[in-house]
Structures are given as structure tokens and as C-alpha cells.
Amino acid sequence: MNKYPNSAFEKYQGLGMTSQRTRSRLVKRLKDKGIESSEVLSAIDVVPRHLFLDEAMASRSYEDTALPIGYGQTISQPWVVAKMTEWLLDSSIPVKRVLEIGTGSGYQTAILALLVDKIYSVERIPELSVKAQDVLQALELENIDFAISDGHWGWPEMAPFDAIISAASPSELPVELVNQLKEGGRLIIPLGDSEQQLYGFEKTATKLIKTCLADVMFVPMKQGIEA
Ligand code: SAH
């Protein structure tokens, strides 16, 4: 990957607490915490996370923490974004078309947009989706389709997907997501309510191989779309 994916990235590099130097310190921290994929680390190094947060939160953009983005939701912790992306890409099939549940701020979407061909991103809160679309457009990331919908149903019209990633935690694995995953593909999703674990699933011809990857805290996967 080039240092800057396009000229828009150069424009939004940031200053001081949002500068390239601060972002690179986060990358170093993620490496120390066990993230190995150089392509994931380079994506985190170039994506201006501060653009996905409100002004008041910008100075904390490169801390390795989840932060509020309004509507009771949060931008995912960078380590979690890195871990999920790394695991998803380490697949036995080429990862080209990815379904994302929970667009949220659009930060995870931006990281993926630099690493795969096409992302289908679903969000149930229209205001969040619109805000994320504005930022991703400003960054000139054009390989993303958005839907306002309930992620429990996946995105059947666009299936099958090479990989599926969810940033919202249902109590049980939604069967539609498994149906819409290609054979050989990977699905990564937190499961549980007050206690959650991050699970990776690999779909083979005959079964689903389940791996527990970490203890995590995500927002719940809610039913329906927000009116
Ligand atoms: N990766 C995003 C995470 C946002 S938090 C980021 O870093 O910003 C998870 C998001 O999932 C929230 O925006 C929430 O509204 C959304 N969500 C929750 N339940 C959902 C559902 N059933 N369908 C689609 N999105 C859902």
C-alpha cells in the first residue's frame, strides 16, 4: 500500500494530538499488543481516526480505547478493529467482498476499504450511516455500499460474501449470516449480552469451525431499524 492511498488522506493528516506522529505511536502500541499483519498496521497508520469522532473527542482519537459517537454507540477500540481485520484476512479464500454489520462511525469500514475490493456496510441508525458516508466520501473511499437495515438479516441481495464482520453483539449467531457466507469464508462476531466473547467462524462444506478469540465488550445487536 502507498503511504497515502489518495490525496484526500494527505489533506486530513491532522496536527498535534491528531498528527501522523500520534497515529504512528498507536501503531507501535498495537504491535506491542500482538498485531502482526503489516497491511493492517499500515492501514491504521494512514486512516485519520480523528475524522470519525466529534471535535470534542478528537484529542483522544489515538488512544487505544472505544469512544462515544452519539446515539448510545461507540467507535470500536483500535486493537479490536486490528484484531478482527487481521483474523478476517487470514482466510483460506481470497477476501474480496465483505459484509460489515454496524457501520457506526465508519472507521472499521475505512480500514477495510483499503484492504479489500468491496464492502457492503449495514447500519440500523440512519443518522450514523449518513455521517459515516460523509467522512468516507471526504476520504474518497468509493468501494463501499451502504444500507440502513437490521444486520440480523445480512444483505441477501448481495450475498454470498467472502467474509463477514460484525461490530454489534447478538445473543446468538444469526443464521442468515452463516447462509450468506461463502464456503471457505470467515465470519467474525461478538456473541453474548452482559458477558461477551469475540468468535471467529470458518465455513467448510460440512461444518462451521468456531474459535474464541478474546473477551470483549461491544454494543448489542438490536432488532429492527431506528425510527
Ligand atoms: N465499527 C464501528 C462500530 C460501531 S458500534 C465503529 O468503529 O464505529 C456498532 C454499531 O452497530 C452501532 O452503530 C449500532 O447502531 C450498530 N448496530 C446495532 N445493531 C445493529 C443491527 N441489528 N443492524 C445493523 N447495525 C446494528
- Map grid coordinates 440512519 to a residue: 126
Identify the band that residue 101 occupies on the pLDDT scale cut at 50, 70 and 90.
very high
**Å from CA of 75 to ligand 1 middle:** 9
Q: Is the pTM of this model over 0.75?
A: yes
Which domains, and CATH codes, for the chain? 66-220 (3.40.50.150)
Task: Report whether residue 99 contacts ligand 1, using a CB cutoff of 6 Å.
Answer: no
User: Among this protein's residues, is 76 annotated catalytic?
Assistant: yes
- Point out the catalytic residue in the list 37, 61, 76, 169: 76
- Ligand 1 atom nearest to 69, measured from its CA: 8
**Å from CA of 68 to ligand 1 middle:** 12
Q: What is the pLDDT of residues 143-173, one digit of tens each?
A: 999 999 999 999 999 999 999 999 999 999 9
**Å from CA of 206 to ligand 1 middle:** 30
